[in-house]
Structure formats: C-alpha cells, structure tokens
C-alpha cells in the first residue's frame, strides 16, 4: 500500500490514496487519488452519477470508503471517534440539506453555534460576523420561510461555516439559483478563500467554477480523469477562435481565410457576413490577419479573438454519463 509522505501532505489539504466506494455491485468511486493544495478553490465537475456526491461524503466522513485512505492536512480521516479535532475543521454543505422553516434566521444560526459548543459572548459575536458576511444582518429576525432561495442558500452556507472550519465542501451550492443569487454566493466564496479557507465545490454550472476555481477535477464513472490547474486546462484544451463580421467582399474574405496559415478551419454563421474561425496563431498573428483583411478592401465591423470556455472544453472531452 502507498504510504503518505508526511512532508508532501503537509502542503495538501486533501490527499486520497486508492479511494474506492462500492454500492452492491456498482463501483461509484474507483481507486481515486485526489490532491488538493491548501488554500485552493477546487472545482469538481462531472455529469450526473459521476460520483461527486459520494466522493464528498467520504471526504467529510459521512460515508465509509470500501477501500483506500483519506488524509486531510496530513492527518488520516477515519469515521470513528479517533480524531474529533480534524472533523471540527471541516464544513460540509450537502446538496439537499433542509432548513428549519419555523425558525428565524438568528435562532437558526444560534442553534448550530450551540451544537458546535460556541459560548457567549463569542457565539453572539460570531453570529453577527457571519450575518454580515452573508448580507443577512437586516433579516436576522425574519422567519426562514420568508427568505428568497438565494438568501436561504447563503444561510445554509453560514450554518456550514459557523464553527470556522478551514476546509469547506460545497455540493452543487448554486444549482437552482438565479444569476444574481449565484453571483452573490460566489462573492462570499471569494471572501472565504481570501481568508485562507480551502474549498472544494462540485457543480454543473461550469461558468461558476471557471470564475471561482484555481484547479478543477473532472470525474467520469467514478474515475478522476483530469485534475489540474484551470490555467493548464485552458492552455492544453481551449482552442482560440475568432468571430468576425464583414460587410462586403465575402468571396475575397473566404479566399484570404483559406490562405491564412493560422486559420485551421472556418464556418459562415447563419447571420449574413458573420464568420467563426478556428485560430491556431498568437494574438499578434490575429492582428496581422485583421490588417491583411482590411488591406484587401474588406469592411470589417467586428473582429474578436476569444478562448473556448470551460463548458466547451468539458463537452469536447466527450464525457460519459453514468445514469
């Protein structure tokens, strides 16, 4: 069995070795070695049934692994009572945790703060602190039923971090939220990261992960098929492309595109004069192309060099669905 290297693991918030979970005959997590460095926001992407929830449940000691080991900040995580201090350092927001609708915001947080053994005056101080963070201070006397979905989700997050964990697990935290609520949630995550927390988030909303994460892991059928920095993923897999709009001389334009060494292929988009070019040159090469087109007498009104987003990269990888 692979022995963890203590010196290496000290840098790692999460390290798993051969982590496996089998339900009856189905292997939900397959011999998975995950590494997440301290201070990272790590995004876990994968289609339904890929194993994200099962992995998070094992990393938070909710689910027993069938095989393998989990180390958090170098300490072995076990489901027994052997390391309560380690579990105190974790926060976990499951994707389906119910709120107690009959409580108001303050009483709800007070209830969880008591569960974690926070005593006054620190308890009161901490609740105020966290209400400021989630921007619900003015709603502290409101019943939970009267909150919007976005507010409820921020309150759930507050409950998850009331005991000041250093490692946070969020399972699909923004699913079902509207764009503004998602943005507000993202802002809080950024603040928590700046405060030094390590955060693992699973999501289908890939654009949210792209905005937040420093690294991503892609799961498929219980395997971690990719785990790398976002920057590396973009460099390896995101192809640059150019969109342009021309008003005239479309035949000359097409000939120029066919001759251009940096345009690997191009397509005319449905709207007249719009084109999308697969581009394999540098930004300087794109400026040269633009100059050439203008000098050929083509009236260009739009010319934008972009990179494929995380969503396209993910689709391009041709992931397999488990369910």
The continuous run of DSSP H or E covering 153 comes out as: helix 149-161
Q: Is the separation of the CB atoms in 29 and 20 below 8 Å?
A: yes
The residues binding ligand ATP (CB under 6 A) are 23, 26, 28, 46, 48-54, 322-323
Q: How far is the CB of 78 from ligand ATP (least distance, A)?
A: 20
Crossing angle between the packed helical segments 105-115 and 122-133, to the nearest 10 degrees: 130
Bridging pattern class, strands 90-93 and 167-171: parallel
Lookup: tokens for 140: 């502290």
Q: Which is nearer to ligand ATP, 204 or 278 (CB)?
A: 204
Which of the 8 DSSP states describes residue 4?
P
The total of other beta-carbon atoms located within 10 Å of residue 96's CB is 7
The total of other beta-carbon atoms located within 10 Å of residue 15's CB is 22
Q: How far is the CB of 315 from ligand ATP (least distance, A)?
A: 16
Q: How far is the CB of 205 from ligand ATP (least distance, A)?
A: 12
Q: How far is the CB of 62 from ligand ATP (least distance, A)?
A: 11
Q: Which is nearer to ligand ATP, 55 or 263 (CB)?
A: 55
Q: Which is nearer to ligand ATP, 28 or 209 (CB)?
A: 28
Identify which of 163, 58, 39, 165 has the alpha carbon closest to the alpha carbon of residue 112: 163
Q: Which is nearer to ligand ATP, 51 or 150 (CB)?
A: 51
C-alpha separations of 290 from 136, 286, 295 in Å: 50, 6, 9
Q: Which is nearer to ligand ATP, 54 or 160 (CB)?
A: 54
Which of the 8 DSSP states describes residue 77?
P
Return the beta strands (E) in 95-196 as ranges: 167-171
* C-alpha triplet 101, 105, 106: angle, nearest 5°: 135
Q: How far is the CB of 219 from ligand ATP (least distance, A)?
A: 6
Q: Which is nearer to ligand ATP, 46 or 165 (CB)?
A: 46
Q: Which is nearer to ligand ATP, 139 or 182 (CB)?
A: 182
Q: How far is the CB of 24 from ligand ATP (least distance, A)?
A: 6
Q: Is 223 exposed, middle or buried (0-12, 13-18, 19+ CB in 10 A)?
A: middle
Lookup: tokens for 150: 């976005």
Q: How far is the CB of 127 from ligand ATP (least distance, A)?
A: 31
For 197, residues 6+ apart whose C-beta sits below 8 A from its C-beta are 161, 165, 166, 167, 168
**What is the rounded CA–CA span in Å between residue 34 and residue 41?**
14
Q: Which is nearer to ligand ATP, 49 or 91 (CB)?
A: 49
């Amino acid at each position: 069995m692979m022995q963890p290297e203590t010196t290496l693991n000290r840098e790692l918030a999460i390290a798993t070795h051969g982590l496996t979970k089998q339900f009856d005959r189905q292997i939900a997590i397959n011999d998975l070695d995950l590494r997440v460095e301290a201070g990272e926001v790590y995004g876990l992407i994968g289609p339904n049934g890929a194993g994200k929830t099962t992995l998070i449940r094992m990393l938070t000691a909710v689910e027993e692994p069938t095989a393998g080991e989990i180390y958090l900040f170098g300490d072995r995580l076990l489901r027994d009572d052997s390391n309560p201090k380690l579990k105190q350092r974790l926060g976990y927001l499951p994707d389906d945790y119910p709120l107690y609708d009959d409580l108001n915001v303050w009483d709800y947080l007070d209830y969880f703060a008591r569960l974690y053994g926070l005593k006054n005056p620190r308890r009161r101080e901490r609740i105020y602190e966290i209400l400021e963070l989630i921007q619900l201070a003015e709603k502290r006397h409101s019943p939970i039923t009267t909150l919007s979905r976005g507010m409820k989700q921020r309150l759930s997050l507050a409950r998850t971090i009331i005991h000041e964990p250093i490692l946070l697990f969020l399972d699909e935290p923004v699913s079902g939220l509207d764009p503004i609520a998602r943005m507000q949630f993202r802002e809080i995550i950024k603040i928590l990261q700046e405060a030094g927390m390590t955060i693992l988030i699973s999501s289908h909303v890939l654009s949210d992960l792209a905005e937040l994460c420093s690294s991503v892991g892609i799961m498929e059928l219980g395997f971690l098929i990719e785990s790398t920095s976002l920057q590396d993923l973009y460099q390896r897999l995101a192809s640059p492309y150019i969109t342009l709009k021309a008003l005239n001389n479309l035949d000359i334009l097409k000939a120029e595109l066919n001759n251009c060494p940096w345009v690997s292929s191009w397509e005319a988009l449905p709207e007249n004069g719009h084109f999308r070019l697969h581009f394999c040159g540098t930004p300087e090469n794109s400026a040269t192309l633009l100059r050439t087109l203008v000098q050929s007498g083509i009236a260009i009104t739009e010319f934008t060099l972009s990179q494929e987003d995380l969503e396209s990269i993910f689709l391009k990888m041709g992931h397999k669905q488990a369910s």
